[in-house]
Structure 1
Amino acid sequence: MDGAGAAYVTGFTRSTNFPTANPVQAANGGNGNRDAFILKLNPAGSALAYSTYLGGSSGDEGRDIAVDSMGSAHIVGQTFSTNFSTANPLQSINGGGSSDAFIAKLNPAGSALIYSTYLGGNGSDTGTAIAVDSFGDAFVTGDTASTNFPTKNPFQVSLGGQSDAFVSIVTSTGSALVYSTYLGGNGSDFGRGIALDASGAVVVAGSVDSTNFPTVNPLLASPAGSYDIFVSKFNTIGSALVFSTYLGGFSQDDANSVALDTVGNVYLTGRTTSTNFPVQNPIQNGLSGVGDVFVTKISEINVQPTPTPTPTPSPATVSVASATKTCIPTDAYPRIEAQPAAGPNFGAIPEQPPTQIRCTFEAEVVLDGVSGNNGPVTLTIFDGFSPGLFFDRLTASSPTLTVAGYTGNVLTFNPILLQLPPQTVLQRFRISFEYFAFLNDLAEQRIPQQNCITMRFNDAVTGRLLLERGGICADTNVLVPRLTLEKYANTTTGLPGDTLKFTVIALSGGSIFLQTLDLDAIIPNNTTLVPGSIDPPPTRVVGNRIEWRGLGPINARGALPVSYSVTIDANTPADAKLVDQAFAKATTPNFAAAGTRMINAASNKVTVMVMSVRTGVDLTLTAAPAAGCPLTIINYTAVVTNTGQVTLDRLRLSLYPGTEPVAGNPEFPIQLDPLGPGESRTITYKGQIGLKQKGTLVDIVTVVGRPVNNGIQVSELVGKVATATVRVSPPGISKITPASGPPGSSNLELKIEGLFCSGDGREFSIELRH
């Protein structure tokens, strides 16, 4: 429920008429298969504020729902669909396994998806529980059997057994993972519930079948039975466990939900079948049936004992009033390696350095000693970088910061001391620094790259953690340029005097548009350029080289084609190979400075074989009738014709039927007798429209043959494809027209028009007169 008392519900439905209101998805995506649903009831429960399907063509289930302070609903669940409804996804496609977890966020009105994403790998993955913090970040848990489940800054880097629990945090926009980790041992472990404390630390609970599940400060260090409960608490950045324990008895025990109170006590509920389940101050002292519900409260393990009074003052209360991070430019290039010249008319491309990225951080920290506390506090700042993004150098800071180290893509600053002056009960401290970073290779990077600050405050005397604030992030879009060439000819063989058309397609396959393109085409020897055939017009033609300069721009993932035609010279010998070549280089905008950057070059070629004779085959397929009712017999006629100048042998005709087969047909594929130049062969067969067939039925035939002269093959195989369609006409009345007879007559004519089928599938009409 939200603060106003509105109720939010998720689950799944097989219904095609599930009640919807202002839906993001109006219909069941699986046409009666399971779809998740999300609905919001007004506080009185009298009307739907919104209600929508969410899913694809296979089974999808909503498992849990949470609402943030803005009224946006966050949903987690499981999808078996390869076309699940996504929006601004962190992971746009199924991870390759049988199912994935999904996470989705609706805007407060329920009218649009802020994001919707897959989360999974090559095994079975399920999202089970979700919680949301004050920033709108989503914390999810579930189980994964994938060996490549998406991780980031993981506590546990790989799958420990048959299945593991997972814990993942997704930013409020759904654009990045804050962290994501496996959690499990050598058996089957499942995350079932998740909760957050005031500092943003995660507590997760579930079921464990592993004998080596990670434990820290455990109540029970080893399993008591076949399936036990686990309860684990991470620190706020997910890098370590604060505590982790087994809980259970001899038999199977499962936790289904977890919650925290304001002082960090953990509350669990679920099901136990153990007769010796641990109890303390119980309302019910023993198992009453096959399985019972349990409710358990675990005191906050991290609570420090009451300190013995000493002359040393306790630290002030710490809070972060504001914290922001920016990186400029927001669009950056990685390093581009040196490349050799693409062609004879282009020079080599030198190495191009990466874009320097300038990042700044500003925060306002408040120390509150109003209760008399004014002991010193240490602040340690960590900056975590995405793979491929590298720290360069610190240029300024206030107060003075020094770098402790840069390991594992985490930049750590040496701690600084914050302390209230004497007689001061409240003071604000401004923390700022500036540094440079860069991208270091040309591999496709995740877009955007993200680097995130974590601020950790400790008691300077005892080292006790006072506050940890993370998720202060800046994004950098990685501009990865890609230039490739594709080369095509309108035929692979030709005769002297034939005209050949060549097409070159320049492809921008990266994440940034190509600003300019320089392209050279080298036409083959033994050919002559056809005047006026060059499109677009070239910059110039020098001998057998066509030059284009300054073509473009080409959008990211876009293409730019050029084409030209040549005639094969009359004296070109048979078996000559005509090689047409193309070379290109391109530039992209340099967003960090004026001018452009040169990027990788590309080349390609295509070969046409000159023949001494022309070869070819034609194939047609007709169907009669072209429409009919179920059980109608269709007569098909295929005609194969040799359109070349030599004999075709080893002819094979294959059939891919759309209608149902009929007894007495020839057996396909059919081996045909040789065909001389200009000769044809006719083959007939029958098909029948099936009782359950609908729409348009397509029969496909193919023919392949070998051109020979005096028994010697003279060219590559030739072939052709032909199709014929038949429309299935469902029977029924389309029109009834009453008409009166001649003047003074009492006759009434009734004309019924439509399609009617007899038992053998024939069509007929009915006309009634009275």
Structure 2
Amino acid sequence: MNDQDAFFAKYDNSGNYLWAKSIGGVGSLVGAESGCVINSDAAGNVLVAGYFQTTTDFDPSPATATLSTSGFSEFAMFIAKYDLNGNYVWSKGIIGSANKIPKAITIDNSNIYLTGYFTGVADFDPAAPAYMLTASGSEDAFISKYDMNGNLVWANKIGGSSQDVGNSIVLDASGNIYTTGYFYGTVDFDPSASISNLVSAGTSDGYIAKYDNLGNYVWAKRFGGTNLEIVESIDLDMNNKIIISGYFYGTSDFDPSTNISNLVSVGNADCFLAAYDNSGSYSWAFSFGNVGSDRAYSVLTHNGSIYTTGYYGGTIDCDPSASVNNLISSGTTQDVFIAKYGSSTTTGHGKISIVTSMLLTFPNPNAGNFTIQCEEEDHAVILNQIGQVIQEVDLNVENNYKVQINNLRSGIYLIKGKNRSAKVIVN
């Protein structure tokens, strides 16, 4: 084993542990840094992609199924399949004299789709003959399609003379591919002999691109300003509206057309959510953040709601309306946030309404004396580090609840309500 092995785990819908598996080997780096990406098919089979170096065993059982990058110092890409119990089915290595880093995976009934980035001259076919793509800059984005046995169907690149990265990928019901990420400079998004260039306005701009199931170019859109925009995640809602999340710095125009829809960051990086129709036309966008660095990393749509998660430091208001719904981080670095929003039903720029409620504590940290504030009536318990109940409290929306607990040991305590929780640090 190595200190940077990869793992994947399964839990039921209530969060109860079912199993966990690891893949790795002596000297290997599997999914380090960028991490592995994972998806599952209708039968519960698990598809995992990532990258590795040297010799790696992809079979979690006592048996072995090794792939090796022998002769190459670069990171190789892998795709591996496991059954619904985590048992090994197959693995494929896409190996050669170039780094290949997958950042996202999605599947349909018959195929596996990846996006990420690569360097140099890269072979995307795990079998012979080789299928080579050549990066135009330091890093080019790629989109590749494999069948359910890991055989290459096709692979395309998105690239210019600088750094271009694919971060997320999703399919619609017709099999069209939507991918997103960021780029710098002039980039041709059409893999054919035709040219469809986009030009960034700043150090990196966000993009959304659409391709058909054969990898043919449909359209590509860019947005941004003179600084930085990073798109981390993409999903489609029930009406095929495109929802993206990420972070940006400075003043950014999120409308790809000649119209202007600027957002201005408060801090070094602010989170954003934005929506576009399936032709890439702008619907709405909003941002949230504080004076530090706040980032939204993932977005998911389900039953008309939008969920996003990321991290923040200090105080952050995730509500784009005039209402204030502050979250306060428990320490001096970053905390994770999860936010849920209702879909936009208005015209024009649209409005999103936050549908979560908060449990706030202040001051934080403290010496055992603090106040709990809640937006709804609730019954909560204060738990220590090993889950013991220290105190029970009844919360009223009209009155802050003042807590005074003497002789508390220093550490992190959890305040847990019916549908909300908060951490408090005692020092």
Q: TM-score range by the shorter chain?
A: 0.5 to 0.7
Q: Aligned ranges for residues 344-423 of structure 1 at < 5 Å?
A: none
Once the 2 structures are TM-superposed, how far is the Cα of residue 83 of structure 1 from its aligned partner?
A: 2.8
Q: TM-score, normalised by structure 2?
A: 0.61
**1:43: which partner in 2?**
84
Q: What is the alpha-carbon distance in structure 1 between the residues aligned to residue 272 and residue 183 of structure 2?
A: 16
Task: Decide whether the 8 Å contact of 1:16 with 1:32 is kept in 2.
Answer: no
Q: Aligned partner of 1:94: which letter? A: T
Instruction: Provide the residue aligned with 2:175 in structure 1.
Output: 136
Do 1:38 and 1:52's aligned partners in 2 also have CA atoms closer than 8 Å? yes
Partner of 2:74: 33
Letter in 2 for 1:9: V
Tell me the residue number matched to 1:214: 254
Q: CA deviation at 1:154?
A: 12
1:297 corresponds in structure 2 to 340
Name the counterpart of 1:653.
none
User: Structure 1 residues 221, 208: CA separation in 2 closer, same or farther (over 3 Å shift)?
Assistant: closer
Instruction: Give 1:253's aligned residue.
Output: 294
In the other structure, the counterpart of 1:78 is 117
CA shift, 1:149, in A, is 3.6
Q: Which amino acid aligns with 1:228?
A: D
Counterpart contact for 2:181–2:230, Cα < 8 Å:
yes
Q: 1:194 aligns with which of 213, 226, 234?
A: 234
Q: Is the 8 A contact 1:20 1:52 kept in 2?
A: no
The structure 2 residue matched to 1:230, chosen from 245, 257, 272, is 272
CA shift at 1:138, angstroms?
Answer: 2.1
Letter in 2 for 1:291: Q
SS at match of 1:148: strand
5 Å-filtered alignment, 1:165-180, equals 165-174=206-215, 176-180=216-220
**Counterpart in 2 of 1:3?**
42
- Please state how far the C-alpha of 1:281 moved relative to its aligned partner: 9.3
Asked whether the equivalents of residues 232 and 246 of structure 2 are also in contact (C-alpha less than 8 Å), the reply is: yes
Please list the CA deviations of residues 117-148 of structure 1 after superposition, one character each: whole Å capped at 9, or x if unmatched.
Answer: 22211111111111122222222111111313
Task: State how far apart, in whole Å, the 1-side matches of 2:220 and 2:276 are.
Answer: 12
1:243 is aligned to 2:284:
yes
Name the CA distance, whole Å, in 2 between partners of 1:221 and 1:164: 14
Please give the alpha-carbon distance, in whole angstroms, between the structure 2 residues aligned to 1:29 and 1:163: 35
Question: In the TM superposition, what whole-angstrom CA distance separates every residue of 1:277-308 from its partner, at most 9, and x where no partner exists?
Answer: 436897x941112101011122212357xxxx
The change in CA–CA distance for 1:30 and 1:296 in structure 2 (over 3 A counts) is farther
CA–CA distance in 1 between the matches of 2:201 and 2:340?
29
The answer on 1:106 being equivalent to 2:146 is: yes
Q: Distance in 2 between matches of 1:7 and 1:208?
A: 33
Aligned partners of 1:118, 1:16: CA distance in 2, in Å?
27
Q: Which amino acid aligns with 1:163?
A: S
Report the Cα distance in structure 2 between the residues aligned to 1:29 and 1:121, rounded to whole angstroms: 30
Deviation at 1:161, TM superposition (A): 0.5
Distance 1:30 1:165 in 2: 36
Instruction: Report matched runs for 1:706-721 at 5 Å.
Output: none
Is the 8 Å Cα contact of residues 218 and 244 (structure 1) preserved in structure 2? no
Q: Distance in 2 between the 1:155 and 1:246 partners?
A: 29
Q: 1:104 deviation in Å?
A: 1.2
Kindly provide the CA deviation profile for residues 161-216 of structure 1, in whole angstroms up to 9, marking residues without a partner as x.
01111111222122x11212222211111110000123332111111113133269
Cα distance between partner residues in 1 of 2:286 and 2:71: 41
**Cα gap change, 1:6 to 1:86, in 2 (>3 Å):** closer
Unaligned 5+ runs, structure 2: 1-39, 61-65, 348-427
Task: Determine the C-alpha separation between the residues in 1 that align with 2:290 and 2:195.
Answer: 30
> What's the CA shift string for 1:690-720, capped at 9, x where partnerless?
xxxxxxxxxxxxxxxxxxxxxxxxxxxxxxx
**Structure 1 residues 209 and 157: alpha-carbon distance in aligned structure 2, compared to 1, 3 A threshold:** same
Q: Relative to structure 1, is the Cα distance of residues 20 and 44 closer, same or farther in structure 2, using a 3 angstrom cutoff?
A: closer
Unaligned runs of 5+ in 1: 305-770
Cα distance in 1, alignment partners of residues 309 and 94 from structure 2? 29
Count residues with an aligned counterpart. 291
Change over 3 Å in CA distance of 1:36–1:28 after alignment to 2: same
Q: Name the amino acid aligned to 2:271.
A: I
* Counterpart secondary structure, 2:219: strand
One-letter amino acid of the counterpart of residue 102, structure 2: G
In structure 2, relative to structure 1, the CA distance for the partners of 1:20 and 1:146 (3 Å cut) is farther
Distance in 2 between the 1:232 and 1:260 partners? Answer: 13
The 3 A distance-change label for structure 1 pair 219 and 101 is closer
> 2:303: which partner in 1?
262
> 1:159: Cα distance to partner?
0.8
Q: Aligned with 2:251: secondary structure? A: coil
Higher-Rg structure is: 1
- One-letter amino acid of the structure 1 residue matched with residue 286 of structure 2: T
Please tell me the root mean square deviation across aligned C-alpha atoms, in Å: 3.2
* CA distance in 2: counterparts of 1:177 and 1:274, whole angstroms: 43
Q: Which amino acid aligns with 2:330?
A: S
Residue 649 of structure 1 corresponds to none
Q: 1:224 is paired with a residue of what secondary structure?
A: coil
| C-alpha contact (below 8 Å) 1:193/1:206 kept by paired residues | yes
1:201 touches 1:237 (CA, 8 Å); kept in 2?
no
Taking the aligned partners of 1:177 and 1:4, their CA distance within structure 2 comes to: 31
1:12 match: 51
Letter in 2 for 1:16: T
Counterpart of 1:44, as a letter, is N
Could you state the TM-score of these two structures normalised by the residue count of structure 1? 0.35
Cα distance change on mapping 1:299 and 1:155 into 2, 3 Å: farther
Residues 17 and 278 of structure 1: CA distance in aligned 2, closer, same or farther (over 3 Å): closer
**Aligned partner of 1:148 among 181, 187, 198:** 187
Map 1:337-736; keep pairs closer than 5 Å: none
- Distance 1:156-1:292 versus aligned 2 partners, 3 A rule: farther
**CA distances 1:309-343 after superposition (whole Å, capped 9, x unpaired):** xxxxxxxxxxxxxxxxxxxxxxxxxxxxxxxxxxx
Q: Check 1:146–1:54 CA distance in 2 against 1; reply closer, same or farther (3 A cut).
A: farther
> Contact 1:220–1:246 at 8 Å: present in 2 too?
no
Q: Is the Cα contact below 8 Å between 1:92 and 1:117 reproduced in 2?
A: no
Match of 1:67 among 84, 104, 107: 107
Work out whether 1:272 is the aligned partner of 2:330: no
CA distance in 2: counterparts of 1:44 and 1:192, whole angstroms: 30
CA shift in 2, pair 1:274/1:166, >3 Å: farther
Task: Report Cα offsets for 1:36-87 as digits up to 9, x if no partner.
Answer: 11111101112x222111243122211111111x141111111113133269
Write the distance in 1 (CA, Å) between the matches of 2:71 and 2:222.
31
2:200 corresponds to which letter in structure 1? L
1:215 to 1:221, Cα distance in 2 relative to 1, 3 A:
farther
Aligned equivalents of 1:118 and 1:130: distance in 2? 14
Closer/same/farther in 2, CA of residues 119 and 28 from structure 1, 3 Å limit: farther
- Counterpart-to-counterpart distance in 2, 1:73 and 1:85: 13
Query: Whole-Å Cα distance in 2 between the matches of residues 145 and 261 of structure 1?
Result: 32
Match of 2:201 in 1: 160
The counterpart of 2:156, out of the listed 113, 117, 121, is: 117
**Displacement, 1:20?**
7.4
